[in-house]
Structure 1
Amino acid sequence: MGTGIVSVLMNLIPFHTPVLHYLSIVFFVLNVAIFALASVTSILRYTLYPEIWRVMIQDPTNSLFLATVPMGFATLIDMWVLVCVPRWGEWAASFAWALWMVDVVAAASVTLSLSFILISQRYITSLDRITALQLLPIAATIVAAGAGAEVASILPNKQHALGTLLVSFILWGMGTPLAIVVLVMYYQRLAVHKLPPRETIVSCFLPLGPLGFGGFGIVYIGKVARDLLQGSDILDPIAGQMAYVLGVFISLLMWSFGLIWLVFALATVLYSSPFPFNMGWWGFTFPLGVYAANTIELGVELNLMFFKVFGTVLSAAVLLLWALVVSRTAMGAWHGNLFFAPCLQNLTLKEDENNPESDRLRA
């Protein structure tokens, strides 16, 4: 997700240069390699050790990270639309459409299943244990909605494009209101129980994810609807124009709400510094990156230099953060002290419960 959003931002920055274009391609290829490696590793893990799947899916924290799979895949689709479709034409557009359908199924499955698992488990979660990580499964459909709007803009068949746009709007509607509900709960948790532990302090950036890509997605949906519904007899002749104008204003509203969470996140990081490095530091990149994408898109649609410059500054910050986190990740991986799966402790406990002999030996 972090590498993918960097590649997307290099394409969205309104001050175009050949360096940014080729840099985006480099990050795109790197992201394909990372996604392929992570996918193969995960498939082997759950194929060779199927018992891990059950304890992982029942873990209230680790299971939420399943949502990162369709979100990371969506960044690949975005780059395919931005880079490959203009070069290779209609077959590339159809291929992007097929990839997006796979992403929609995965994103909707994750959002619905993990959200239900969260509310159906027998254990009781107190307010102080609520974290911004619960936004992850909800954000999956929001990200798929934004990718769908981009795919709809390049489909040659108008009916296919309208259907894609309608599904994108439904996905946006599935995720955005639910994300706002979780943000209300998360704010109450912060107000009552104060800042999260230093180990999870990076999660304070996660609210920027659904707000940033939600704003980007709705303005893109409106922009594509304006073009597709022009001269159409669907609803009303002005339906496309209304969708575009409302999309811009809703996007601006979400950007403004995200600005508050950005200030909260920066203040939290400064207040809690220093804090230990872990894989959670990747939470810096994608949320801030999608907020930068929303900022740039507003600058382009409103033709305001402030948003264009601010979005470019945020994009540069994302690139620097990516470089920092990559270097720290490489160091931790080399020393072998970075990767940790806390859900495996639950597997050990289950094995002990099912093996009375281990209790006797321990006694």
Structure 2
Amino acid sequence: MAGILFHLIPFEHAALDYIAIVFFVLNALLFLTVLSMSILRYTLYPEIWKVMIQDPVNSLFLATCPMGFATLIEMWVFLCVPHWGDWAKTMAWGLWIVDALAAAAVTASLSFILISQNYVTSLERITALQLLPIAATIVASGVGAEIADILPNAQHAMGTVIVSYVLWGMSTPMAMMILVIYYQRLAVHKLPSRETIVSCFLPLGPLGFGGFSILYLGKVARQLLGESNVIDPMVGHIAYVLGLLLSLLMWSFGLIWLVFALATIYYRSPFPFNMGWWGFTFPLGVYAANTILLGKEMELIFFKVCGTILSSAMILLWLVVATRTVHGAWHGVLFHAPCLQNLKEKMDDSQNDATNDEA
């Protein structure tokens, strides 16, 4: 996300694009490394997959895979397409189709698993992590809008816009419902523990990129329908105006959650470093992206400056978290898989059952 913000910052400078390229390469290498390690892990030890998918917390992080892939596609659109031409556009479109299918599958499957299993049986166990499967589809819809903006074929672009609207409609209302439940949980059971305090930033994710997506979709729809002979061009203008208003409303709603998050961090500090600290970066980054897009569309310096400040804060935070992650990984004190405890318990139960059968 840091590389995307370097590209989106409205106060342009040539150095920002070079820094964005560096972050793009680093993110691509990191994504491929983690993906390869995960595939190898579940291939060699398939029993871990069964335990992980049944874990009420760890299974939700599967949604970060299509989200991470979507940000790489977005950087490909920004950095590679302008230099490499039509084949790069076609490749971006194909990769987005794969990502959209994966995101929709994750949203539907993990959400159904959550409501069909006896994982969460009390309001106290509700966390903002339940937004992760929903956010994957919201991110796919926003990237779809950016893909449609570069496609040379108008029919392909219009189809991409329609699918992106469907993805947005599948996910954003669900995210709003979860936010209502999460607020009730906070009101009744108060703030989460220090170990999971970083999750208080997660509501900024669907609100930030949800606003970005609907505004960008309206922008592209206005352009495409303005050239259409089938649908009244006024529909495109309506889509743009509605997108602008919804984006502004979601930005405003996100603002109060940002205040809640900052107040929570101040109230609960200090708190231990863990891999959950990466939950700071993406929600803040997409909220900054929506702020910048609002500034560009309305030509308001306020949003441009606020977006730049939020982007700078997110980039500094990314550097801090990345440094502490490398330090913790080097000393072997960072990575922990709680779901493996469930595997140990299942193996012990199986051994006990076998012993009883023999007896």
Shift of 1:331: 1.1
**Offset at 1:359?**
7.2
**Residue pairs, 1:265-276, within 5 angstroms:** 265-276=261-272
Question: How many Å separate the matches in 1 of 2:25 and 2:78?
Answer: 13
Q: Partner residue of 2:234?
A: 238
SS, match of residue 94 in structure 2: helix
AA aligned to 1:119 is I
Work out whether residues 352 and 359 of structure 1, in 8 Å CA contact, stay in contact via their aligned partners in 2.
no
Q: Which residue of 1 aligns with 2:193?
A: 197
- 1:111 match: secondary structure: helix
8 Å CA contact retained: 1:333, 1:339: yes
Q: Secondary structure at the match of 2:226?
A: coil
- Please name the residue that 2:154 is paired with: 158
2:76 counterpart residue number? 80
RMSD: 1.1
Counterpart of 1:60 (choices 34, 49, 56) is 56
How far did 1:335 drift?
Answer: 1.0
Match of 2:220 among 219, 224, 227: 224
Task: Give the alignment partner of residue 36 of structure 2, picking from 15, 33, 40.
Answer: 40
The within-5 A match list for 1:1-363 is 5-356=1-352
1-structure distance, mates of 2:41, 2:200? 30
* CA displacement at 1:352 relative to structure 2: 1.0
Letter in 1 for 2:290: N
Q: For 1:103-143, what per-residue CA distance to the aligned partner results, in whole angstroms no more than 9, with x for missing partners?
A: 01110010000000000103452101100000000000000
**3-state SS, counterpart of residue 229 of structure 1:** helix
Contact 1:352 1:358 in 2 (8 A): no
Q: Deviations over 1:11-34 (max 9, x none)?
A: 000000011110000000001100
Contact 2:144 2:161 in 1 (8 A): yes
Which whole-Å deviations, capped at 9, do the CAs of 1:129-187 have from their partners, x for residues lacking one?
10000000000000000000000000000000000000000000001000000000000
The answer on whether the counterparts of 1:104 and 1:141 sit within 8 Å (CA) in structure 2 is yes
Q: Distance in 1 between matches of 2:86 and 2:120?
A: 52
- Structure 1 unmatched runs, 5+: none
Structure 2: segments with no counterpart, 5+ residues: none
Task: Tell me if the contact between 1:145 and 1:217 (Cα under 8 Å) persists in the aligned partners.
Answer: yes
Residue identity matched to 2:267: Y
- So what's the TM-score if we normalise by structure 2? 0.98
Identity %: 70
| Cα distance change, pair 270–254 in 1 and its aligned pair in 2 (3 A) | same
Aligned residues: 356
> Take 2:247 and 2:121, find their aligned partners in 1: how far apart are those partners?
33
Structure 1 residue 358: Cα displacement: 8.4
Q: Could you tell me how far apart the structure 2 residues matched to 1:123 and 1:78 are? A: 35
| AA aligned opposite 2:85 | G
In the alignment, the residues of structure 2 paired with residue 358 and residue 289 of structure 1 have an alpha-carbon distance, to the nearest angstrom, of 52
The answer (yes or no) to whether the contact 1:142–1:213 under 8 Å persists in 2 is yes
Do the aligned partners of 1:11 and 1:21 also contact (CA within 8 Å) in 2? yes
2:244, 2:230 → 1: CA distance? 21
Deviation readout 1:255-314 (Å, 9 max, x if unpaired): 000000000000000000000000000001000000000000000000000000000000
Stretch deviating more after TM superposition (351-360 or 126-135): 351-360
Residue 237 of structure 1 and its aligned partner are, at CA, apart by 2.5
CA distance, structure 2, for counterparts of residue 110 and residue 357 of structure 1: 35
